[in-house]
Amino acid sequence: MWLRSNAAMSVCLFGFVFLTHLLSRVAQSSDSFWTVPVMLSMLSKGDTNLDEYPQLLRERRYQGVECVTATYQVTPIDRISGCPAGSHYYYWYPIGTPVVAFPLLVATDAALRVVGPPADRLIGNRAGSVATAFLRRDYLASHLLVEILLGSIIVALATVLLFLTARMYLGVAGSVVLALLFAFGTSAWSTASRALWQHGPDMLMLSAALYFLSLATHRPAVLSWSAAPLMLAYFIRPTSSIILAAVGAYVLIHHRRQFLAWLLVAAATAVPFLAYNFRIYHRPLPSYFLLSLFLAPTPANLGRILNGFAGTILSPSRGLFIFSPFLLFSLAGAWLSFRRKWMTPLTYYLAAAVVLHWVAISDFAYWTAGYCYGPRLFVDVLPLFLYFLIPAFLWLHLDQPRRLRSLAFYLCVLVSLFIQYRGAMYWAPYEWNASQPDMTAHAWDWRDPQFLRGVFDKSQK
């Protein structure tokens, strides 16, 4: 009965989150643009280079692409003429995102082979040019729809995994609320599913790891499987090395007998990516992983680093606790987990991973994260914040809304939902990014918070 009810609720959650995210109006393919062409190359040619898209490369001015010569050297790309003769074009961002999304594209393509033709005949051009191209399996012409479709599936899967994790500690109602808060009260809605970024697959892997780590308290053999999604997360987004190292240390120190199995699973997951990198670049890691974009910890940089520390959590246009204020209760949850020994010592390591992630993104030279909505650099570790919300739920007594702390929590939830709704449904907040040349200073302007753009000026959509 317990399994059937969880399965039924998981299906309902997946369907609701998927459809809501899919139908949200904002779509913002930029850095993620080449993810779909890479997957199409994998599907049709069995490789990952972009050589078959010369016209598209020129139209995009080779943005997000790098040249790899016949001698396996990465060379600078000319925005006009492209790569030197004999070179291949490769997507500059990590291959992990196309790898995770590829099975979903294959399943989508298989479904459209069956339902696409009759749907096209029934609907015709009334569906619009993008939808018609999608039904006819022209994924380049409909790439933005493909990104939103696959991104919404990924976020919906992460939502289900967080629900199943919460069910190990909470009742059905509390677990559903926690899962929906992740899906609609955080940047999972306003950022992760708005394009096929690295963030959605990264969150999915972290959610899977949290599920395995929680399940391991009752089934210790499952512990080693947490290494697979964590290692995959690293090849999706390098900052995931922090949580990978934290969990690795936890297993080594507290579950030493299982560490070898954990390490073998991690190695088995890493080998295909390392082999791919050696084949393309003749080295274990591509150029994206070797960037030096962090500020040196010197007195001259202290002001910028401290600005990043404060800005990533409190600035009106990039602060995590401004865009999702209910996550402040995750801090209370972390403190409660330490005090009441809830899932310790694991929670010590997870909390350390969150802090170190905060340090890393604060030290990043571009902590405002470019053209985006809200705290994009914090998106990857959102599942950890929701995990720490579990002990907070046990403390809040949400079924007693007259309690002051419960009332404060509900108020924070309403603010979070409003802000994330703005980012998922309206374009005006994105215009904030281009309105000032100094984004770092603008991010602190309380007279012009990003999420309020267009609220009072009805001419802005």
Q: SS3 letters for 232-301?
A: HHHHHCHHHHHHHHHHHHHHHHHCHHHHHHHHHHHHHHHHHHHHHHHHHHCCCCCHHHHCCCECCCCHHH
Taking 50 as the pLDDT cut, the residues of the chain under it are none
* Spatial strand order in the sheet of 88-91: 74-75, 65-68, 88-91
The closest of 76, 98, 99, 79 to 87, measured between CA atoms, is: 76
Residue 403 phi/psi, 5° resolution?
A: -65, 140
Name 137's Cβ contacts closer than 8 Å, sequence gap at least 6: 109, 112, 113, 116
Beta bridge partners of 91: 65
Using an 8 Å Cβ cutoff, are 190 and 373 in contact? yes
- The H-assigned helical ranges of 367-403 are 382-396
Q: What is the pLDDT of residue 101?
A: 98
Q: What is the pLDDT of residue 402?
A: 61
CA–CA dist 395, 326 (Å, integer): 14
CA–CA dist 212, 352 (Å, integer): 19
Q: What is the pLDDT of residue 461?
A: 54
SS3 state at 75:
strand
Q: What's the token pair of residue 167?
A: 């069910």
CA–CA dist 204, 210 (Å, integer): 10
What is the CB-side half-sphere exposure of residue 25 using CA atoms within 13 A? 10
Q: What's the token pair of residue 288?
A: 């994206």
CA–CA dist 103, 105 (Å, integer): 5
Name 317's Cβ contacts closer than 8 Å, sequence gap at least 6: 374, 432, 442, 443, 444, 445, 448, 449, 450, 451
CA angle 287, 301, 306 (to 5 degrees): 100
The closest of 325, 326, 341 to 396, measured between CA atoms, is: 326
Residue 309 phi/psi, 5° resolution?
A: -55, -50
CA–CA dist 330, 332 (Å, integer): 5
CA–CA dist 272, 171 (Å, integer): 40
Residue 220 phi/psi, 5° resolution?
A: -55, -30
For the chain, the maximum distance between any two Cα atoms, rounded to a whole number of angstroms, is: 71
Q: Which helix H or strand E contains 199, and what residues bound it? A: helix 199-215
Angle between helices 346-362 and 328-339 (to 10 degrees): 140
Which pTM was predicted? Answer: 0.96
Q: What's the token pair of residue 255?
A: 């579950």
Q: What is the pLDDT of residue 5?
A: 77
How confident is the model over 108-147, as pLDDT tens digits? 999 999 999 998 888 877 778 899 999 999 999 999 999 9
**3-state SS track over 204-236:** HHHHHHHHHHHHCCCCHHHHHHHHHHHHHHHHH
CA angle 185, 186, 191 (to 5 degrees): 130
